[in-house]
Amino acid sequence: MSIIINNVSKSFGSFQALQDIELEIKTGELVALLGPSGSGKTSLLRIIAGLESADRGSIYFGSDEITDISTKDRQVGFVFQHYALFRHMNVFENIAYGLKVRPKKTRPAKKDIDKKVHELLKLVKLEELAKRYPAQLSGGQKQRVALARALAVEPKVLLLDEPFGALDAKVRKDLRRWLRNLHDEFHITSIFVTHDQEEALDVADRIVVMNGGKVEQIGSPEDVYEHPKNPFVYDFLGNVNLFHGRLDNGKLSQGSVQFQVEGVQHQQDQQAVGYVRPHDIIISRENNNKDSILAKITHIHVVGPIVHLELKRADTDEFLEAEITKEHFRSLDLKVKENVYVKPSQLKVFFPEDYSI
């Protein structure tokens, strides 16, 4: 079931939550709406579900316009951030609910409902907990029940609102994998909202990066990470180091050093900012090609297999963040307050006039 969102706008009082959103989601895709708080991603999801209505614009499921159709007729499965399980029903009854409330004509027989619920319990690996009540479940278990409940009605579209936001890191990772596998097996068109870029990059087929009610960029995880369209997308999808300088003939000049920049040869001399990921910073003890910047290590932070370094540039006193592997760190034998040379292995350039930085 493909979804087309046409010029959707929504405001809450004087706050413009969504502005002219245009989006097309193909059948069977798993799409992430990624953005910071207030970007409008949850509002958009709820409008697709019918829990809110857009001020302007239209929404199509396949070729049918469903803008004015109520939620209960849209056949969507919605998974809430805080699960919204029915607290007075046990796990079994929660999952069976969608089938139980069907009008008599379309309601399956009791034994068919039982069978379906048991299948789903097996799928989410919660068979022993069928008689438990939501208050007696852990967060991860509750979320799996919520998913099973949404899947029970065989929805055409699955919508998830920050489904793993309230869970701890290990459970989140496991459920992410599980959702991805589930999607690979069942191919339901799915949209999930998240503010965690790692989650979006890990799970989604395509990512819609949103900010302030607008869509910043749409693309595959590879696309938005390697080829961000603007500083916001670059910054949101990972940490960033800024190199302010002048761009001339494919080279970004900063004081005494010049960096080669890909793909902008035709630009004339103008102010530009280079964006570099921490793991694209190369650290060395010597400045052999005279193309590196002198910097002092101010902070060393070991996180598992990666070492985070905070450095202060000698020429501008700006701070840089670098990430190197533990082996590289050990081979260089770095210590705080030592001076090293840094240079970016690749950088992306944006121009200040086009974007407010």
Residues lying near another protein in the complex (CB under 8 A) are found at: 49, 51, 70-73, 75-78, 80, 82, 84-90, 97-98, 101-102, 125, 129, 131-133, 136-138, 140-141, 144, 149-150, 152-153, 170-171, 174-175, 178
In angstroms, give the least distance from the CB of 41 to another protein: 17
In angstroms, give the least distance from the CB of 51 to another protein: 6
50 vs 344, which CB is nearer to another protein? 50
102 vs 187, which CB is nearer to another protein? 102
In angstroms, give the least distance from the CB of 305 to another protein: 22
In angstroms, give the least distance from the CB of 106 to another protein: 9
181 vs 346, which CB is nearer to another protein? 181
89 vs 294, which CB is nearer to another protein? 89
In angstroms, give the least distance from the CB of 81 to another protein: 9
Three-state secondary structure along the chain? CCEEEEEEEEEECCEEEEEEEEEEECCCCEEEEECCCCCCHHHHHHHHHCCCCCCEEEEEECCEECCCCCHHHCCEEEECCCCCCCCCCCHHHHHHHHHHCCCCCCCCCHHHHHHHHHHHHHHCCCHHHCCCCHHHCCHHHHHHHHHHHHHHCCCCEEEEECCCCCCCHHHHHHHHHHHHHHHHHHCCEEEEEECCHHHHHHHCCEEEEEECCEEEEEECHHHHHHCCCCHHHHHHCCCCEEEEEEEECCEEEECCEEEECCCCCCCCCEEEEEEECHHHEEEECCCCCCCCEEEEEEEEEEECCEEEEEEEECCCCCEEEEEEEHHHHHHHCCCCCCEEEEEECCCEEECCCCCCC
In angstroms, give the least distance from the CB of 13 to another protein: 11
132 vs 195, which CB is nearer to another protein? 132
191 vs 247, which CB is nearer to another protein? 191
146 vs 297, which CB is nearer to another protein? 146
In angstroms, give the least distance from the CB of 141 to another protein: 5
